[in-house]
Structure 1
Amino acid sequence: MDIDSYLATNAGAWSRLEDLTRRAGRSAGDLSPTELEELVALYQRTSAQLSYARTRYADAALTARLTRLVAGANAVIYGRRSTSARVLLDFFRWTFPVAVYRSRRFVWVSAVLMFLPAVLVWLWLIGDPVAMDASAPASLRRDYVRNRFEQYYDPGAVFFTEVTTNNIRVTFTVFGMGIVLPFLGPVLILLLNGMSVGEVAAWMSEAGDGWRFLGFILPHGMLELSAIVVAGGASLALGWALVAPGDRRRGDALREEGRRLMVVVLGCAVMLIASGVIEGFITGSGLPVWARVGIGALGWIAFIIYIRTQGREATALGLTGGLGERPRTWDDELTLDDLVLDATTSSVATPSLDA
């Protein structure tokens, strides 16, 4: 059977599964027993068709659609069994890394938008005394280099709280700008942050303290700036879904990327807490520069490995980065009788319009 015939034959069943999943609202108790039996049967059938379609047709659009259908139905059927601990574990094991991994192309764009302006501004200011003086008066630059820069990194719990709160605020600003001004908002924030980093780097280089600058920035900055770049990448993906949704309907693309962006921002908030710990207790400590930078580098490398390994594995399992997703395991299997009993109980407690 060619792909067009395959699509025509199964379109009705897939639309029905999508409708049942949407009406259930991620809870099997909202369906009547008959509809629940139908949902389970369609879910099992579509899961098998997903595996078949991947090997038989290798069509990206078809695979993406079936993946979304299976993931949505899976959340309806199995989501109610998740405990808070399991949800948290699944979030960091599967949901967050696959959300970042699926946005990786936009993360690269985000990195360029942030770090290229930083380098260009640094080169411009150190090579142009007039521009350097225009960026800030010489007295202010000297005061910043000699006093304010290092004093900022005062080790302790209070400083940790302040910097963590500020960093999370920046990340949520990227998130908010991605919603209010899709694509343009994140671009502006990334450019401005990169220019600010380049400006401070130029001031420190002018005073001959470039290495001291790196010694204080790199320990926490590798993880901190990575979090901002990752959040920026997910925001760019949301904006791009509005411009070029691909084979998805524009509304579906925006919902999918919006859910993924929320996951990324929540995960990045945890990254920034870890960065704040390093900034509050390691960056300004009396440890040698190599030790401080080494600790930051280990955290950054661990993050890269984590996203790459877990993200690739979750992608291979068909996960998309939506909250509540997890791979199906034998431990999750429910008998049809259990599902119907649960729906019947829910229908008795709360009369259903679908019954």
Structure 2
Amino acid sequence: MASLYRSLSADLARGKTFQVGTILLQKLQSLTARAYNQIYQGSRHQEWQAALDFYRWRFPTVVQQTWLYTAIAISIFSLGGLIAWWYGWQDPSFLALVVPADLIHKVRDQKQLWMGSILGMEPLASSGIMINNLSVTFRMVGGAITAGLFTLYALFFNGLLMGAIAIGVNLSQKPY
């Protein structure tokens, strides 16, 4: 359909350039307008339908096909979190090995949530988040040359970070 529309538009342009008959130009213009509406205006419903179809049919199928990999990833992440939680519960000085000192000071001494407030600095905070997400993406893509070992390390280490931060917030008796 799109190739026919492009051909029709090209014919209309040639017709205007070479000044063919008025009736032919009007017919070409009418057909071009109708084709444009069919291709570009009517596709919005189809795009939403495609998204709904993906989440309704294809996504559950992919989850069923990859459940083992997903379970392994969740297990590695959770193992890191549980190890950090346990060590942090047994010896709070363990937190200094994993969590940056300024976060420990903020949570333990100032009794503030570890994520802090971004009020008044939303653009700076969103830029920082975007830069972090891009750097993580590039590290994960670059880490692919290690046959998944870097990804396993990142999953485990992120679990350690989350577990250590969670026990740090818990020990300071601050609600999550």
What letter matches 1:151 in structure 2?
A: G
The 5 Å alignment of 1:10-29 reads: none
Please state if 1:107 is matched with 2:73.
no
What's the TM-score, normalizing by structure 2? 0.54
Q: What is the deviation of 1:193? A: 0.7
In structure 2, what is the equivalent of residue 201 of structure 1? 166
Alignment gaps of 5+ in structure 2: 1-45
Q: What is the deviation of 1:154? A: 4.7
- Are the equivalent residues in 2 in contact too, given 1:115–1:194 (CA < 8 A)? yes
Which of 85, 110, 125 is the aligned partner of 1:122? 85
Tell me, in whole angstroms, the C-alpha distance in 2 between the residues paired with 1:96 and 1:159. 35
Tell me, in whole angstroms, the C-alpha distance in 1 between the residues paired with 2:122 and 2:96. 36
The 5 Å alignment of 1:135-284 reads: 135=98, 141-145=104-108, 146-147=111-112, 149=114, 151-152=116-117, 154=119, 161=126, 165=130, 169=134, 172=137, 176=141, 179-209=144-174, 212-213=175-176
- Are the equivalent residues in 2 in contact too, given 1:174–1:189 (CA < 8 A)? no
Q: What is the deviation of 1:93? A: 2.7
Q: What is the deviation of 1:96? A: 2.7
- Percent identity reads 18
CA RMSD of aligned residues (A): 3.8
Q: Can you list the C-alpha shifts for 1:158-203, whole angstroms capped at 9, x where unaligned?
A: 5995587468548745862574333212211101110110121222
Q: Can you list the C-alpha shifts for 1:64-87, whole angstroms capped at 9, x where unaligned?
A: xxxxxxxxxxxxxxxxxxx54454
Larger radius of gyration: 2
Q: What is the deviation of 1:126? A: 2.3
- Are the equivalent residues in 1 in contact too, given 2:78–2:159 (CA < 8 A)? yes
Q: What is the deviation of 1:94? A: 2.5
- Are the equivalent residues in 2 in contact too, given 1:177–1:185 (CA < 8 A)? no
Alignment gaps of 5+ in structure 1: 1-82, 214-355
Change (3 A) 1:150 1:187: closer
- Are the equivalent residues in 2 in contact too, given 1:122–1:201 (CA < 8 A)? yes
Change (3 A) 1:88 1:153: same
Q: What is the deviation of 1:108? A: 0.7
Q: What is the deviation of 1:137? A: 8.0
- Are the equivalent residues in 1 in contact too, given 2:140–2:150 (CA < 8 A)? no
Q: Can you list the C-alpha shifts for 1:219-271, whole angstroms capped at 9, x where unaligned?
A: xxxxxxxxxxxxxxxxxxxxxxxxxxxxxxxxxxxxxxxxxxxxxxxxxxxxx
